[in-house]
Amino acid sequence: MVNKTILITGGAGYIGSHTAVELIQAGYKTVIVDNLYNASLGAVDAIGEITSTEPIFYKGDCTDSQFLKKVFTENKIDAVIHFAGYKAVGESVKKPLAYYKNNLDSTITLLEGMKEFGCTKFVFSSSATVYLDENVVKYNEKTTKTNRPFSPYGTTKLVQEYILQDTALGEEFESVGGLQVVSLRYFNPIGAHSSGNLGEDPNGIPNNLAPYITQVAVGKLDSLPIFGADYSTPDGTPLRDYIHVVDLAKGHLAGLDYVFKQSGKFFDPINLGAGKPVSVFEVIASFEKAVGQKIPYKIVERRAGDLPEFFADCAKAKEVLGFETKLDLDSMTADSWHWQKTHPNGFSK
């Protein structure tokens, strides 16, 4: 048993729930907070079933300071992993205000609560979107951040990083010993828990590749639209760095260990990817092996904002976190399929 309590905001969501499982199994006490905007209680139940524990769960909003005060008062929180936020790139273009308000306000309100309760360890869910640059394909943490992400969602990630960095380096946390932040920049998380009981459960028609494919495979959607096969890549489809969500979850344990070793004013960004560019056709081929049948697809127009290729330089994660991914593309697609096949309607029966 690790004698530490971790607050997981957005812990009923896709990445947060997988991280909760890994933390509980590693002996941490966890407190999960989620407003269930994009998640359901079924995920909390699944965390409990997989870990044979009764998860501590609070339904509430990270923009609500009184709610956070209650959580911090009732639990002695040693560190926060902040997943809570809106994440749909396309929706953010249509509803920028909602995205700026929710994502920025959550982070600010959470930081204020942490300061009040003397909690100084922060692990942040950032994204490769802070880099997106047409002229660079392999991003390392020194790659210049874009000053204009492709979407309001991306801008919220960039601005949240600045809020965290400025707060870590400013004076407001000095009275409690300084704020220590590690900002984990995820590439493309896919996959599900190997039990088949926890996975991605998007609302409506999925925006992302893997859940779209599994919904085609399970018969909920007719065929996959491939957003362009005329890129200057080996097979014409874009290359991405897919990382198994369980590897990603384990990266958060490494991130926590790292942040617990720091003191004073500290902010450090670290990529979490597999470091291997993979094409859309390669993802489809891997799913076809897992499912045992062809995935129908149709090549359509390019999607606005898609880049031909980007992937992570993983050297820093290896060096400072001792973190390397273990699960390959076939495990990602097999686990996604296992989850979808056994839960065609996600957490709702």
Q: Which of 131, 153, 231, 258 is catalytic?
A: 153
Listing DSSP states for 81-132 in one string gives EE--S---HHHHHH-HHHHHHHHHHHHHHHHHHHHHTT--EEEEEEEGGGT-
Residue 227's binding partner, choosing from ligand UFG, ligand NAD, none, with beta-carbon cut-off 5 to 8 A by kind?
A: ligand UFG
Place of tokens 């880099």: 131
d(CA 349, CA 343): 8
> In the bound complex, what is the minimum distance in angstroms from residue 249's beta carbon to ligand NAD?
10
**Which residue, 22 or 34, has its beta carbon nearer to ligand NAD?**
34
Tokens of 285: 């081929």
Residue 199 interface partner, choices ligand UFG, ligand NAD, none, CB cut-off 5-8 Å depending on type: none
251 binds ligand NAD (CB under 6 A): no
Is 99 among the residues known to form the active site?
no
Q: Work out how close the CB of 177 gets to ligand NAD at its nearest, in angstroms, rounded to a whole number.
A: 26
Run of H or E including 70: helix 65-74
- Asked if 138 and 314 touch (Cβ cutoff 8 Å), the reply is no
The answer to whether 15 contacts ligand NAD (rule: CB under 6 A) is: yes
Q: CB–CB of 240/208 below 8 Å?
A: no
Q: Helix 14-25 and helix 41-51: axis angle, to 10°? A: 20
Cβ(55)–Cβ(230) below 8 Å: no
Under the criterion CB under 6 A, does residue 183 sit at the interface with ligand NAD?
no
Nearest Cα neighbor of 325 from 253, 256, 247, 255 is 247
Specify which residues 267 forms β-bridges with: 181
Question: Given the complex with ligand NAD, which of 203 and 342 has the nearer CB atom?
Answer: 203
Decide if residue 111 touches ligand NAD (CB under 6 A).
no
As given in the structure block, the two tokens for residue 269 are 């960004």
Kindly state the smallest distance separating residue 327's Cβ from ligand UFG, in Å.
17
Counting contacts by CB under 6 A, is residue 215 touching ligand NAD? no
Q: Which residues from 118-177 bind ligand NAD, rule CB under 6 A?
A: 125, 127
**Residue 69 site contact among ligand UFG, ligand NAD, none (CB < 5 to 8 Å, cut-off depends on kind):** none
Residue 288 CB-half CA count within 13 A? 12
**271 makes contact with ligand NAD (CB under 6 A):** no
* Contact indicator for 31, 62 with CB cutoff of 8 Å: no
In single-letter form, the type of residue at position 319 comes to E
Q: Which is nearer to ligand NAD, 12 or 158 (CB)?
A: 12
User: Does residue 83 belong to the site contacting ligand NAD (CB under 6 A)?
Assistant: yes
For Cα atoms 173, 176, 177, give the angle at the middle one, nearest 5 degrees: 85
Q: Is 335 in the site for ligand NAD (CB under 6 A)?
A: no
| 212 contacts ligand NAD (rule: CB under 6 A) | no
For position 214 contacting ligand NAD by CB under 6 A, the verdict is no
Amino acid at 239: L
Taking the least distance from each CB to ligand UFG, the nearer of 195 and 207 is: 207
Q: Are 187 and 138 in contact (CB under 8 A)?
A: no
Q: How many chain residues interact with ligand NAD (CB under 6 A)?
A: 28
Residue 45 or 306 having the CB closest to ligand UFG: 306
Residue 127 or 167: the one with the smaller Cβ distance to ligand UFG is 127
The residue among 243 and 254 lying less far from ligand UFG, judged by its C-beta, is 243
Is residue 36 near ligand NAD by the rule CB under 6 A? yes
Residue 181: how many CB atoms within 10 A of its CB? 26
Shortest Cβ 198–ligand NAD spacing (Å): 11
What span, in angstroms and rounded, lies between the C-alpha atoms of 299 and 227?
6
Token pair in block for residue 105: 């306000």
Taking Cα atoms as reference points, which of 11, 25, 26, 34 lies closest to residue 257?
A: 26
The residues that touch ligand UFG, with contacts defined as CB under 6 A, are: 87, 89, 127-129, 154, 188, 207-209, 212, 224-227, 238, 240, 280, 303, 306
Residues of the shown chain interacting with ligand NAD in the complex, contacts defined by CB under 6 A: 9-10, 12-16, 33-39, 61-63, 83-87, 102, 106, 125, 127, 186, 189
Catalogue the active-site residues: 153
